[in-house]
Structure 1
C-alpha cells in the first residue's frame, strides 16, 4: 500500500519534496536529511499530514 507523502523542512516549515512510502512496512512518520532551498543548507525533513 504505497501512499504519496509530502516532506517539509523542520526549521522553516517549507514543503519542499514529495515522495512515496509503503505504509504497511513503515507506519511511523518518515524523517530524512535533505537540502532545503529556503534555508540554503541540509536540514531534517519530516513527513506532513
Structure 2
C-alpha cells in the first residue's frame, strides 16, 4: 500500500514548562494540544504560545513525536 502524501499532518503540542515540573516536583499533569501543520511550509518543529491550565498562564508548547 502506498504511503500517504498529505501535505497537512496532525501534530501534538506539549507544554515545555509542565514537562520540567513533572520531572522535578510531580505536577498534576501535562497540557497537550492537537493541531495541524503544513509539511512543506514548516518542515521544522512547531512551537506556539498556548494557555496551560496546569500552569495557569500562557507558555510555549513544543511539537512532540507520536
Shared fold per TM-score greater than 0.5: yes
Aligned-residue Cα RMSD (Å) equals 1.0
- Does 1:27 find its partner at 2:47? no
After TM superposition, which residue ranges in structure 1, 4 or more long, deviate above 4 angstroms? none
Unmatched tracts of structure 2, length 5 or more: 1-6, 20-29
Aligned residues: 49
Structure possessing the higher radius of gyration over alpha carbons: 2
CA–CA separation in structure 2 for the residues paired with 1:15 and 1:6: 10
1:20-49 CA-to-partner distances (Å, cap 9, x unmatched) read 001111100001111001111110000111
Tell me which protein shows more helix as a share of its residues.
Answer: 2
